[in-house]
Amino acid sequence: MIKAGVVGGTGYSGVELLRLLAQHPQVELAAVTSRPEAGRPVSAAYPSLRGCVEVAFSHPDKAPLAQCDVVFFATPNGVAMGEARRLLDAGARIVDISADFRLKDVAEWERWYKMKHAAPELLAEAVYGLCEVNREKIRDARLVANPGCYPTTVQLGLLPLVEAAAVDLDHLIADAKSGVSGAGRKLEQSLLYAEASENFAAYGVTGHRHWPEIRQGLAQLAGREIGLVFTPHLVPMVRGIHATLYGRIVKELDFQALYEKRYAKEPFVDVMPAGSHPDTRSTRAANVCRIAVHRPAEQGERADTLVVLSVIDNLMKGASGQAVQNMNLMFGLPEATGLEQVAVVP
């Protein structure tokens, strides 16, 4: 059995991770940390876990994390980088759901996250945990940087086009919408029910932290820098991300066949039939990205713009589900172990 520790078990990604680990046939949940909840049973904070998670929250300073085989960080940015070296030296492996190890350029990271990086020497070692790209590197990794929710949606949606150099890589557009759980479990005016309900708004238009992460991933695939306009929006739902992606065609291909071939063996990417319109509900509580490819007609002629629809559950494939997928790879388990949940409808 894999002994797993979870640092930060009280947020939305944390409780989703606990739900998945509690159902995983090869995992023993050894420690769940929370400073304010230390000593309180996890199931008292989250009754949904009654009968499934028997441990109590531990204070981070007293939790037996160094004795774990794998430690997940479901924490705000800045926590994992302060603890990673100690745990790695003790022999634990790490899956960081925060952003601490996603960007390779430390100056770039510090510019976007507004703090000094505490472990810049680990950035080179950290493997970016987009399984559909870095699967083999993840298998041997000690430290995996779990991708962000928007970056997962956008990169999976654009990946086949970038690999094939089939669209103008200097002028990619990602128009993305997320439910409020993507902002985390916190008190913030814009996330209050009366503010978010029956409302729809863009944010971070002039700069969002996920923009450099998306550009870094796509540039590595392309072997060159790429140009990307990324605009996130907040929509009045709890969970889910829908990204509408645009690229100007520079190489004629059978784009439906391109996507079907690229993702044919991927257990968690579903390329839908031509003409489909995937919705967020079709991914709710499931570790899957559903993609549809469209080439709209334009004034009676074939358009030169390709439209790709990419949809995930931000707490699953966009966070905790992908974290478990990474863990499975790291410990030589079948990739889908503990992740075969069917989407919840309605």
Residue 123 falls in which region: left (phi positive, over 0), alpha (psi -120 to 50) or beta: alpha
Distances (CA, A) of 177 to 174, 231, 237, 241, 243: 10, 8, 10, 6, 6
Domain segments of the chain as ranges:
2-125, 150-314
pLDDT for position 97: 98
pLDDT for position 297: 76
Q: Which residues of the chain have pLDDT under 70?
A: 298-302
User: Of 34, 79, 80, nearest to 56 (Cα)?
Assistant: 34
| Domains 2-125 and 150-314 agree in fold | no
**Calpha distance 173→258 (Å, rounded):** 20
**Calpha distance 56→38 (Å, rounded):** 7
**Calpha distance 209→214 (Å, rounded):** 9
pLDDT for position 301: 58
Return the bridge partners of 7, or none: 33, 73
Residue whose tokens read 């940015």: 77
pLDDT for position 190: 74
Question: What is the helix, strand, coil percentage profile of the chain, to 5?
Answer: 35, 20, 45
User: Of 158, 296, 306, nearest to 227 (Cα)?
Assistant: 158
CATH classification for the domain delimited by 150-314, as one of 3.50.50.60, 3.40.50.2300, 3.30.360.10, 3.30.1280.10: 3.30.360.10
**Residues 6 or more apart whose Cβ sits within 8 Å of residue 206:** none
pLDDT for position 193: 80
pLDDT for position 299: 46
User: Of 141, 311, 157, 302, nearest to 237 (Cα)?
Assistant: 311
Other beta carbons within 10 angstroms of residue 49's beta carbon come to: 20
**Calpha distance 144→329 (Å, rounded):** 11
User: Can you list the positions of beta strands (E) in the chain?
Assistant: 2-7, 27-33, 57-58, 70-73, 93-96, 127-128, 143-145, 172-178, 201-202, 228-234, 241-248, 269-271, 289-294, 297-298, 301-302, 305-312
- Please report how the helices 255-262 and 149-163 are oriented relative to each other, as an axis angle in degrees rounded to 10: 120
Report the topology of domain 2-125.
Rossmann fold (3.40.50)
pLDDT for position 302: 64
Residue positions annotated with a catalytic role: 149
What is the pTM for the complete model shown?
0.96
Residue 48 identity (one-letter amino acid): S
